[in-house]
Amino acid sequence: MSQSAKELSTKEAASKLQEGNVQFIDVRPIAAYNGWKLEGEPRGGHIPGAKSIPLQWTDYMDWVEVLEEKSIIPNNPVIIYGYSVDETNAMAEKLDALGYDKLYTYHSFTDEWAANESQPLDNLPRYQQLVYPDWVKQLVDGNNPPHYDNDDFVICHSHYDHIEDYHRGHIPGAIPVDTNSLESTETWNRRSPEELRETLAQLGIRHDTTVVLYGRFSSPTFDKEKFPGKSAGHLGALRSAAIMLYAGVKDVRILNGGITSWETAGRSLSAEPISPQPIENFGAEIPGRPEVMIDTPKAKQLIAADDGELVSIRSWEEFIGNRSGYHYIEKTGRIPGAVFGNCGSDAYHMENYRNFDHTMREFQEVEQTWKEAGITPDKHIAFYCGTGWRGSEAFWNAWMMGWPKVSVYDGGWYEWCSDPQNPIKTGLPKEPSTQEKPLAK
């Protein structure tokens, strides 16, 4: 244990929580931080305001950069807690070596803080839809993992016209799902209700089937690859999940971090192809959740509305019109009135919505960034990008946060710029905001 770290009681830790400059660090797995009770604790979640820095991350060479990103400042008091004394002390030692000299450890989170209803806890409202490797393993092995009350599930390995990615290795029991079966290859919008009904039936998915989706992450190079989307399988999984939710699948789940998290957990992959078990009927009307997807007329209404926002989940270079972001889209620029939601570097990366291990970024960080741009849960928020993939990932963030009115503008930039009647803006937006709200409809 760090010689400079002082151990706190629950009373002392609760008192520190009221001090504005104190920083709590939760070293447990992200799943526990989000709300999963991985060690049988009475209540799931994390201490309000705590930052998620799993001890596992310290095995990565560049993990120290996370401290800066999360504003963990050496001059401020830092309180570390987790599941075990050893893990908490291990993080204290690492921070001590980095020059943090106001360190505290708290070892009673599970048996005192989580066990006391009067102590506050935060969690991701729909954390059950963001599952972790051991949860999926329990499902594959025929057991009933937490928050699963069903006897019908399908695990989907998502890819974009790249079945070789599935054959390279997949989670045992998973079937391949080509995003082309859910999207039109002409417009890249979701397919018609009739087509979705047929696709889902062929995949063996009913409205009451539990569906777990994941993909493989790699780093496509836009300027060197004709089809960069083939290397963005997990982004495609989130797109597929949004379309399935729209169709009416009641229980859609994402493996946090995709196949990377499965491999990092030491789980083996399979090369044995699994064929879907088709069914006769989806069992419900499609779309079951029509509000998940909006089209251009509704997008225009949101741009003009006081209680709505159209949010561009694109890179800054795309937003100001320096590039379209896609080989097959010529026009550049942005939709006037849209708010900049900043995906990251390009059309196939979501750095600003993910941790460096490809898991979803701490939800409060995303929410705070949105709040600064005027993207708040009291409004109807519709996310868009070029063709729906990045917009779908941002949608999932908001939906899992429990935001009541969130959608994907399915047509996105591709559909908008294809109509010469639609206005386009380029160049830097007016300061200080990246929002250009029109005065009237």
**β-strand 293-294 against 251-255: which pairing, if any?**
unpaired
- Whole-angstrom distance, CA of residue 10 vs CA of residue 106: 7
- Whole-angstrom distance, CA of residue 111 vs CA of residue 15: 18
Dihedral sign computed on CA atoms, order 359, 182, 242, 341: positive
Write out the catalytic residue numbers.
385
The three state secondary structure string of the chain is CCCCCEEECHHHHHHHCCCCCCEEEECCCHHHHHCCCCCCCCCCCECCCCEECCHHHHHCCCCHHHHHHCCCCCCCCEEEECCCHHHHHHHHHHHHHCCCCCEEEECCHHHHHCCCCCCCCECCCCHHHEECHHHHHHHHCCCCCCCCCCCCEEEEEEECCCHHHHHCCECCCCEEEEHHHCECCCCCCECCHHHHHHHHHHCCCCCCCEEEEECCECCCCCCCCCCHHHHEHHHHHHHHHHHHHHHCCCEEEEECCHHHHHHHCCCCCECCCCCCCCCCCCCCCCCCCHHHEECHHHHHHHHHCCCEEEEECCCHHHHCCCCCCCCCCCCCCECCCCEECCCCCCCCCCHHHECCCCCECCHHHHHHHHHHCCCCCCCEEEEECCCCHHHHHHHHHHHHCCCCCEEEECCHHHHHHHCCCCCCECCCCCCCCCCCCCCCC
CB 214 within 8 A of CB 234: yes
Q: Among 135, 172, 116, which Cα is nearest to 31's?
A: 135
Structure-token match 């499965």, residue found: 262
Written as six digits, the tokens of 254 are 């994402």
